[in-house]
Structure 1
Amino acid sequence: MSKLASTHRFNLRKAWIATIILAAGMIMAACQEQSTPPSGSQTSSTTAQSPAAGALKIGSLLPATGDLSSVGQPMLAAVPLLVDKVNQCGGVNGAAIALVPNTDDQTDPTAGADGMTKLAEVDKVAGVVGSFASGVSSAAAPIAVRNKVMLISPGSTSPIFTERAKKGDFQGFWARTAPPDTYQAQALAKLAFDKGVKKVATVVINNDYGVGFEKEFVLAFKKLGGTITNEAKPTRYDPKATTFETEVQATFGSKPEAVAAIAYAETGALLLKTAYEQGLSKDVQILLTDGSKSEQFPEQVGKTSDGKFILTGALGTVPGADGKALEQFVTLWQAKFNKPPVEYAAQAWDAAALLALSAQAAKTNTGEGIKSKLREVANAPGVEVSDVCEGLKLLKEGKDINYQGASGNVDVDENGDVVGVYDVWRVEADGTLKTIGKVKPQ
């Protein structure tokens, strides 16, 4: 073989290898652009479309990983589902919504702040559905305000947001479709008292969610005539803790009839498992909340030596859904995923719907425009509509609407808050979670 021929074959081989590497890189990049779909869900086709110039661009900041992943992951599909529906009926302001794949906040304020910065300053979104954890939303909100991005949370329930809104911290760029824990704490207190419990100890995750809930629960339970056995020295645990011997001794050692554990799933499971292993939780009623409600939670806590679930009989509360759009939403979700919607999916759907409707009402696809019309489309007066496409049609005709959501009527007040109803759930002997009723704040 001549030297020239050898060199020519070598150059062809280098070009062939380079082509393969380039193709592989393009495939990997395309894969990375897709958000990881929640268990049992499908990725929205909307994320693959090229956005029209000036189209409404929205994103989500929700926990696919971390302490709230078992609650957050299953609800990730709600936003793409709403966007697909809107785009099928013509989009917003004459163009399809451009949906940025979910940004995983990792149930961590630092990661959430980084994610919000990316959404606002790199992706240039006008609105965001998120976050779920109150601590993450606290970190993300100032970034949203600074960049004039409308942030609507489907699950951050800490009362601290009401207080901050009253101080003017959010300048109107904050709202939520889940009611604040001021109400859920009252509902849990009423549930406990109605069950004959008069002495309760609290153990809470030491963040905006846990401490805010604890404060309201203590006030509500004492108002009913109950006693908080560890009120003088409340038990609060580090969100990054991995051992809980001290915390369970302090909580269960105060001899309560029930323990209200305001916790997230991963750390809450370790805490309650530790209490059982130390023999402290026997004959003590466990009270739980939305932060730990997931199908995996009883399994995470574990079983007794004779194979029974430790959490059997535990009771909890969670924001329910009773809106006029609920039936339509449930039908759409079941047709797509062949299962009923998970908790907070309706709230996430409503959050995305409010972003779309507000932008259409404002006739501009900006965060400032959304903010200016949010309460107008959510509240009376106006034609009551539960179908988002019908709402968009009326707005295009210049009519006022009053959106009735899947989670509730989503009447947003001046602090960005809504009022809701609460489901009561119980851990059954087989480890499943069963909704056994509803309870309203006292």
Structure 2
Amino acid sequence: MKKPVSNNDLSYGLALQKPARLANQLPRRLSAFALAITTLTTGVLAVACQDTTSSSGGAEDGLKLGTLTPSTGDLASIGAVFPDAAQLAVDTVNQCGGVNGKPVGLVIEDSQTDPNAGAGGMTKLAEVDRVAGVIGAFASSVSSAALPIAVRNQVMMISPGSTSPVFTQQAKDGDFNGYWARTAPPDTYQARALAKLAIEKGFKSASTVVINNDYGVGFEKEFVSAFEKLGGTVVNKDKPTRYDPKATTFETEAASAFSGNPQAVAAVLYAETGSLLLKSAYQQGLVDGKTVMLTDGVYSDDFPQQVGKTSDGKFLLTGAVGTVPGAHGEGLEAFTNLWKEKTGKPVTAYVPHTYDAAVLLMLAAEAAKANTGEGIQSKISEVSNSPGQEVTDVCEAMELLRQGEDINYQGASSNVDIDENGDVIGDYDTWLVESDGKPKVTGKVSPDI
């Protein structure tokens, strides 16, 4: 979800390189205590990175992966379970022989939904932990900050949810050298799906309000274009409303977004800040007669709670509609059963996408016969596309690769056909906030217009 790398982000990442290199020069078998002292001495890593845990059983020269997802910050309500999904994939593969004959290790980093923390976390994963692949980031702004570090260190990144269209163009320009992919489709498609949903709802006019980063601005531009192609009018097209994610009050932005008497307001938000903006709009009486249209960034049971209720106990967001990348892969049913068995949790947004990202990294390493980022990068397209035997079961896929067979992994989130830009294409679920404050999936919408 999303912001280009700023000079500050790059400077922060570069500042982390020197202490990371020093840490790498220490003997491999330093005790955890000594490594902690070194990290504290550098000062910077101690601030940048959150608590890190590694899965048990990872051999020293076996495949090592990392996660860089939000356990805290603006997207924690969605992303806190992502490490569990990655760990489930790793545990499943380890139970059926690991990768290249050895167990896979997993290092978990909290991106904090913050580009600076994401840059620090990626530097640690790449230059201290020496991972070959990373599941993440989630926020597009964090991926933008972390990607240059990953590419420089030849670490393969597969994001379960950084959906900004910016990455497609950068991949076309050769910025990533193939070290980038994502299991969720870019917002080029979701914006079209939301515009199509608006037309299906009978809306002829709309306005937009978006978080001012890659995710929000990229989505806004695609939505405006798609809605106009379908015959709609965007009333604030010439003066779009974009809010600062670091702001604490949003009265002015709310008033701007809901002015001009639009039938609908397309709100591309993050949960913590977006809930404050919408609450302000309701408190100012701006929402009457207008439908709020939401996106994946706030698709959770928590968000309507955060926006709040009326004085008589009704959820303010009742009747709001939205879109979210759906999970419709051939492996979804089996994954859902496994997830519920192992975690006891419901399958929420982007959990299948996270699982698939981890699986693809491991399958590519096995196909390459190398536990390196270079090896993964060279095989990621091969294991996710035809030709090859279509397979949904991860252990079956690993066994086929060990036997020298070609595979076409069919994931839980989709068929995960990764194209030359690292993108996949998918359909979208539509959803409605019901009177009990729960978002309910109501159907599907295609991005084709």
* TM, length-normalised to structure 2: 0.88
- Aligned counterpart in structure 1 of residue 134 of structure 2, from 128, 143, 155: 128
Shift of 1:51: 2.6
- Aligned counterpart in structure 1 of residue 73 of structure 2, from 44, 60, 66: 66
In 1: Cα distance, 2:83 partner to 2:58 partner: 21
- Aligned counterpart in structure 1 of residue 93 of structure 2, from 86, 89, 97: 86
**Aligned residue in 2 for 1:257:** 263
**Aligned residue in 2 for 1:176:** 182
Judge conservation of contact 2:57–2:103 (CA < 8 Å) in 1: no
**Aligned residue in 1 for 2:240:** 234
- Aligned counterpart in structure 2 of residue 318 of structure 1, from 315, 324, 329: 324
Judge conservation of contact 1:260–1:287 (CA < 8 Å) in 2: yes
- Aligned counterpart in structure 1 of residue 398 of structure 2, from 392, 395, 400: 392
In 1: Cα distance, 2:320 partner to 2:290 partner: 9
Judge conservation of contact 1:75–1:342 (CA < 8 Å) in 2: no
Judge conservation of contact 2:161–2:182 (CA < 8 Å) in 1: yes
SS state of the match for residue 426, structure 1? strand
After superposition, give the CA deviation of every residue in 1:190-240 in whole Å (9 maximum; x if it has no partner). Answer: 001100001000000000000000010000000000000000100000011
Q: Which runs of 5+ in 2 are unaligned?
A: 1-32, 38-45
SS state of the match for residue 419, structure 2? coil
Judge conservation of contact 1:378–1:404 (CA < 8 Å) in 2: yes
In 2: Cα distance, 1:222 partner to 1:274 partner: 28
Shift of 1:75: 2.7
After superposition, give the CA deviation of every residue in 1:19-59 in whole Å (9 maximum; x if it has no partner). Answer: xxxxxx89x99xx9xx989xxxxx9xxx4424323200001
Judge conservation of contact 2:55–2:105 (CA < 8 Å) in 1: no
Q: Are 2:372 and 1:366 equivalent residues in the alignment?
A: yes
Q: Are 2:116 and 1:110 equivalent residues in the alignment?
A: yes
SS state of the match for residue 65, structure 2? strand
SS state of the match for residue 80, structure 2? helix
In 2: Cα distance, 1:413 partner to 1:80 partner: 26
**Aligned residue in 1 for 2:164:** 158
Judged with a 3 Å threshold, the aligned counterparts in structure 2 of structure 1 residues 64 and 148 are, in CA distance, closer, same or farther, namely same
In 1: Cα distance, 2:298 partner to 2:83 partner: 17
In 2: Cα distance, 1:204 partner to 1:261 partner: 6
Aligned amino acid, residue 308 of structure 1:
K
In 1: Cα distance, 2:113 partner to 2:260 partner: 31
Aligned length: 404
SS state of the match for residue 51, structure 1? coil
SS state of the match for residue 317, structure 2? coil
Judged with a 3 Å threshold, the aligned counterparts in structure 2 of structure 1 residues 400 and 120 are, in CA distance, closer, same or farther, namely same
**Aligned residue in 2 for 1:17:** none
Matches within 5 A, 1:273-352: 273-352=279-358
* TM, length-normalised to structure 1: 0.89
In 1: Cα distance, 2:81 partner to 2:377 partner: 28
Q: Are 2:224 and 1:206 equivalent residues in the alignment?
A: no
Shift of 1:150: 0.2
**Aligned residue in 2 for 1:22:** none
In 2: Cα distance, 1:274 partner to 1:307 partner: 17
User: Once superposed, what is the RMSD of the aligned Cα atoms?
Assistant: 1.7
Aligned amino acid, residue 300 of structure 2:
S
SS state of the match for residue 77, structure 1? helix
Judge conservation of contact 1:75–1:343 (CA < 8 Å) in 2: no
Q: Which runs of 5+ in 1 are unaligned?
A: 1-24, 38-42
In 2: Cα distance, 1:424 partner to 1:269 partner: 20
- Aligned counterpart in structure 2 of residue 191 of structure 1, from 197, 206, 209: 197
Shift of 1:421: 1.3
Question: 331-340 or 125-134: which moved more?
Answer: 331-340
Report the structure number with the largest CA radius of gyration: 1
Judge conservation of contact 1:360–1:392 (CA < 8 Å) in 2: yes
Q: Are 2:55 and 1:53 equivalent residues in the alignment?
A: no
Shift of 1:336: 1.4
In 1: Cα distance, 2:171 partner to 2:364 partner: 20
Shift of 1:99: 1.0
Aligned amino acid, residue 141 of structure 1:
L
Q: Are 2:417 and 1:401 equivalent residues in the alignment?
A: no
Q: Are 2:445 and 1:439 equivalent residues in the alignment?
A: yes
